[in-house]
């Protein structure tokens, strides 16, 4: 390019110097050379653009290679998942066959029992009635694992949608004479759908963990009869002695200092459940037991929801629990998470310090009136409450779960650091070293001491339990439920 331009300059200079008659020939030559100069410039621009195109082609090729690699990884993952699903389906078919075999062998229709008491029901045939499966099998040798006849029923403690709970005394073995709470649940009902089976598994798992947790109910044995699954649990001062009953006996309310200590232990228990990725969903004074030393234990895991994996946004949608203690988000129906339990703890705190629930309604009205109060009304906090007490109740009963105390990322720690709990040594709380305000130097015996239950028989036999069932073999059912 530079050579052509130099040549043109030379020709122009020569033409000016000589001013000869050949100027007519120089002008066409100048035009030709100028044309070639433009062409060379265009070629240079094309070469530059060609380099850009080559760069783009290289990038496209790199992207294609990366895509191929990612597709291979994806196909490998899909093939692995297909294999896992195939294995699960094969295992489910085996489980279905085992369940059908078990139900065919052991769920025959039997005539109803006519006996009214335990002595008549517990006949000699009961020596081979049940095969025990201890939840804590390290506690006893296999030969010592219990059967139904190894427990003497003393009284019916309670009934619910998922079964009955009896006070029993162990007969024989290293724990002869020990009192337990025995919960019976109907096998047919539990096996009727996957939701009930999952609920049983969750409850049993939490009871097993309760042996290691300071404020949980522990499971000592589990076994089955022909018609019932039996869970042998901790017995808390008659199990009829819960926080509600204690409030009743002491005039309907605690002092603020007494409430603070009970709340501290309740918070520890709920925090433990949330670390296990479990929402209790039915926290209330009736489900908080009190032992002889006055320490509490959160009980009744029948409505607990356990999430399979830990991740932000874990949400449940079932509307369940006790209406007066249910958080607003449950009524709205858009899902709820762990923070709903802190609302229930806030209602419990109000009950302990005030003597009634914060959202009362006429029993003759339907539940929609209560729902409206919970969604829109503010709790009527007594004027004699101190500022820190008012702030605790108001923040635990925030309608918006994101603004509720305990609803942040720090969870229970937010509540523990509230001024209401100044002076509480949380290390002592977790070690059960608080001196609780009301130790029980008595046991609540007799159905009359257990309120709202009415009269009940003291037998927990079912018609299907009158003959032997699971002697000498592992239960097929337990493989599904445990």
Query: pLDDT per residue over 452-461, tens digit each?
Result: 323 333 444 4
Q: State yes or no: pLDDT of 239 exceeds 70.
A: no
- The per-residue pLDDT for range 437-446, each reduced to its tens digit, is 988 765 444 3
Instruction: Please give the mean pLDDT across all residues of the chain.
Output: 76
Report the pLDDT value the prediction gives residue 48, as an integer from 0 to 100.
79
| 96 annotated binding-site participant | no
CB 229 within 8 Å of CB 200: yes
CB-CB contact of 353 with 254 (8 Å): yes
> Are 111 and 184 within 8 A, CB to CB?
no
Is 242 in contact with 285 (CB distance < 8 Å)?
yes
The pTM (predicted TM-score) of the whole model is 0.65
Percent with pLDDT over 70 in the chain: 69
- pLDDT interval class at 324 (50, 70, 90): very high
Q: Which residue has the higher pLDDT, 283 or 370?
A: 283
User: What is residue 240's predicted lDDT score, i.e. its pLDDT?
Assistant: 54
Question: By the 8 A CB rule, do 397 and 405 touch?
Answer: no
Q: Of 225 and 480, which is predicted with more confidence?
A: 225
367's tokens: 């539940």
State yes or no: pLDDT of 217 exceeds 50: yes
Tell me the C-alpha distance between 439 and 292, whole Å.
6
Comparing C-alpha atoms, which of 283, 178, 155, 287 is closest to residue 235?
A: 178
| Phi, psi of 212, rounded to the nearest 5 degrees | -105, -5
Q: Are 312 and 259 in contact (CB under 8 A)?
A: no
Mean local confidence (pLDDT), 409-423: 95
What is the helix, strand, coil percentage profile of the chain, to 5? 50, 10, 40
Q: What is the DSSP letter of 437?
A: S
* Contact indicator for 452, 245 with CB cutoff of 8 Å: no
pLDDT at res. 41: 79
């Amino acid at each position: 390019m530079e050579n052509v331009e130099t040549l043109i300059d030379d020709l122009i200079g020569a033409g000016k110097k000589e001013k000869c008659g050949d100027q007519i020939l120089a002008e066409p030559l100048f035009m030709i050379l100028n044309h070639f100069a433009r062409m060379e410039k265009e070629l240079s621009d094309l070469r530059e653009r060609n380099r850009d195109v080559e760069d783009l082609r290289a990038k496209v090729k790199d992207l294609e290679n990366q895509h191929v690699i990612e597709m291979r990884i994806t196909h490998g993952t899909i093939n692995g998942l297909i294999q896992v699903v195939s294995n699960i389906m094969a295992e489910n078919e085996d489980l279905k066959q085992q369940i059908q075999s078990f139900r065919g062998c052991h769920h025959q229709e039997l005539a109803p029992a006519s006996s009214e008491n335990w002595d008549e029901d517990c006949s000699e045939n009961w020596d081979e009635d049940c095969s025990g499966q201890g939840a804590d099998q390290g506690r006893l040798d296999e030969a010592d694992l219990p059967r139904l006849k190894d427990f003497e029923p003393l009284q019916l403690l309670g009934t619910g949608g998922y079964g009955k709970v009896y006070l029993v005394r162990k007969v024989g073995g290293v724990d002869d004479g020990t009192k337990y709470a025995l919960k019976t649940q109907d096998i047919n009902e539990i096996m009727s759908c996957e939701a009930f089976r999952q609920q049983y598994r969750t409850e049993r798992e939490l009871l097993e963990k309760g042996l290691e947790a300071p404020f949980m109910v522990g499971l000592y044995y589990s076994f089955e009869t022909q018609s019932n699954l039996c869970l042998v649990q901790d017995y808390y001062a008659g199990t009829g002695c819960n926080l509600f009953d204690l409030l009743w006996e002491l005039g309907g309310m605690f002092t603020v200092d007494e409430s603070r200590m009970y709340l501290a232990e309740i918070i520890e228990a709920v925090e433990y459940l949330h670390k296990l990725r479990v929402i209790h969903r039915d926290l209330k004074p009736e489900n908080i037991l009190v032992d002889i030393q006055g320490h509490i234990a959160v009980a009744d895991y029948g409505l607990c929801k356990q999430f399979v994996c830990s991740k932000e946004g874990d949400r449940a949608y079932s509307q369940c629990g006790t209406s007066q203690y249910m958080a607003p988000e449950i009524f709205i129906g858009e899902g709820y998470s762990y923070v709903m339990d802190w609302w229930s703890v806030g209602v419990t705190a109000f009950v302990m310090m005030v003597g009634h629930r914060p959202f009362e309604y006429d029993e003759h009205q339907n539940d929609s009136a209560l729902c409206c109060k919970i969604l829109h009304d503010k709790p009527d906090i007594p004027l004699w409450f101190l500022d820190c007490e008012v702030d605790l109740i108001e923040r635990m009963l925030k309608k918006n779960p994101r603004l509720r105390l305990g609803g942040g990322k720090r969870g229970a720690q937010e509540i523990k650091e509230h001024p209401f709990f100044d002076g509480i040594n949380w290390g002592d709380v977790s070690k059960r070293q608080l001196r609780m305000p009301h130790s029980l130097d008595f046991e609540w015996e007799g159905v009359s001491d257990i309120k709202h239950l009415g009269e009940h028989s003291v037998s927990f036999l079912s018609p299907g339990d009158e003959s032997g069932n699971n002697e000498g073999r592992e239960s097929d059912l337990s493989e599904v439920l445990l």
